[in-house]
């Protein structure tokens, strides 16, 4: 049992948690990002649509999720991409469908977040 606990303690932990805001207005924004990860999701557009100033949107998002909106969007895109990569889809297709301008931009963000390249993640 001690050996098992010792082994579990040294296993690298992946950052796989995506906090959702409690408020319904900010949840609409998060739902839109999940539904269309390749869309630009301009802050000015969403602030106007949700009836708040841009700074207020940023502060509310940070307060409710503990993350900036930009960071949350990057994490959401990467988590959505994981599912498609697990199905064996091409990395370039997944990258473009999740708002990245190139496979290399996606791979760089993926490696920065998960510590390995997308092609190595499920090995």
Let me know if residue 119 belongs to a domain: no
Q: Give the CATH number of the domain where residue 69 resides.
A: 1.10.10.60
The pLDDT assigned to 6 comes to 78
Mean pLDDT of 10-26: 81
Domain that holds residue 43: 23-114
* CA–CA dist 123, 116 (Å, integer): 10
The pLDDT assigned to 16 comes to 76
pLDDT above 70 (res 14): no
Using only C-alpha atoms, the chain has a radius of gyration, in whole angstroms, of 17
Let me know if residue 121 belongs to a domain: no
* CA–CA dist 103, 96 (Å, integer): 7
User: How many domains would you assign to the chain?
Assistant: 1
pLDDT above 70 (res 13): no
Let me know if residue 16 belongs to a domain: no
Residues 86-122 pLDDT 10s? 999 999 999 999 999 999 999 999 999 888 999 998 8
The pLDDT assigned to 99 comes to 93
pTM for this one? 0.83
Let me know if residue 6 belongs to a domain: no
The pLDDT assigned to 123 comes to 80
* CA–CA dist 76, 55 (Å, integer): 21
Mean pLDDT of 33-60: 94
On average, the pLDDT of the chain sits at 91
């Amino acid at each position: 049992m001690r050996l098992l606990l010792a082994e579990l303690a040294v296993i690298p932990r992946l950052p796989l948690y995506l906090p959702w805001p409690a408020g319904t207005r900010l949840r609409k924004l998060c739902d839109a990002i999940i539904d269309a990860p390749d869309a630009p999701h301009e802050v000015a557009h969403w602030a106007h649509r949700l009836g708040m100033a841009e700074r207020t949107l940023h502060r509310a998002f940070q307060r409710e999720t503990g993350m900036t909106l930009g960071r949350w969007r990057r994490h959401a895109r990467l988590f959505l991409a994981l599912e498609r990569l697990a199905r064996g889809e091409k990395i370039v297709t997944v990258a473009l469908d999740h708002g990245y301008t190139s496979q290399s931009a996606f791979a760089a963000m993926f490696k920065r977040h998960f510590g390995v390249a997308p092609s190595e993640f499920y090995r």
